[in-house]
């Protein structure tokens, strides 16, 4: 295999995730995000869990790498809850 540009999906596909279905560890307030103009989350989330569609911020916790950047960078109270996933859930690194 040769080195190539990997898409966000391809990058996350390298990792192992156990998704805690129906139990997000990060909760985002859509109304606050709608009011937010800067939306740093779209740029700084290394997993691209925050995506803009039709002018709205959509958040998907399934591929979260648990770094905390969104919480630290969110200045408009959009991230209303941030915790690590419950034990046994989330990302598992094997060679980092």
Partner 1 sequence: MAEDDFDAIVVGAGPAGSACAYTLAKAGKNVLLLERGDSAGAKNVSGGRLYTYALELVEPGLARRAPLQRRIVREQIMLLSDGQATTIDHAEYGKEAESCSVIRATLDEWFAAEVEAQGASVVPGMRVDGLLEENGRIVGIKVGEDEMRAGIVVACDGVNSMLGQQAGLFGDVKAHAVGVGVKETIELSPAVINQRFGVKDGEGAARVAIGCTEGISGGGFLYTNQDSVSLGIVFNPEQAARNGRQIQEIFQDFKLHPAIAALIEGGTSIEYGAHLVPEIGFHGVPRRLYRDGFLVAGDAAQFGINTGMIIRGMDLALVSGLAAARAVLQGGDPGPAYMAQLEQLMLLPNLRAYAEFHGIFGISRIFREYPDLANEALRFLFTVDGKVPPPMIKQLKAIVKSKVSYAQLARDAWKGYRSV
Q: Which residues bind partner 1 (CB under 8 A)?
A: 1-6, 8, 11-12, 14-15, 38, 40, 42-44, 46-48, 65-69, 71-73, 83-88, 90-96
Residue 21: CB minimum distance to partner 1, A: 17
Is 45:61 a contact under the CB 8 Å cutoff? Answer: no
Q: Which is nearer to partner 1, 80 or 83 (CB)?
A: 83
The residue (of 35 and 68) whose beta carbon lies closer to partner 1 is 68
**Contact status, residue 27 vs residue 81, Cβ threshold 8 Å:** yes
SS3 for 70? helix
Closest approach, Cβ 29 to partner 1, in A, equals 17
Give the closest residue to 20 by CA, choosing from 83, 93, 69, 74: 83
Token output for 69: 């950047």
């Amino acid at each position: 295999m040769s080195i190539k540009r990997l898409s966000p999906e391809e990058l996350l596909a390298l990792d192992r995730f156990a998704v805690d279905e129906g139990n997000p560890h990060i909760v985002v307030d859509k109304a606050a995000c709608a009011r937010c103009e800067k939306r740093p989350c779209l740029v700084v989330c290394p997993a691209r869990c925050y995506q803009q569609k039709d002018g709205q911020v959509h958040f998907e916790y399934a591929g979260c790498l648990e770094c905390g950047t969104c919480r630290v960078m969110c200045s408009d109270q959009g991230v209303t809850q941030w915790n690590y996933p419950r034990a046994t859930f989330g990302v598992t690194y094997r060679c980092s």
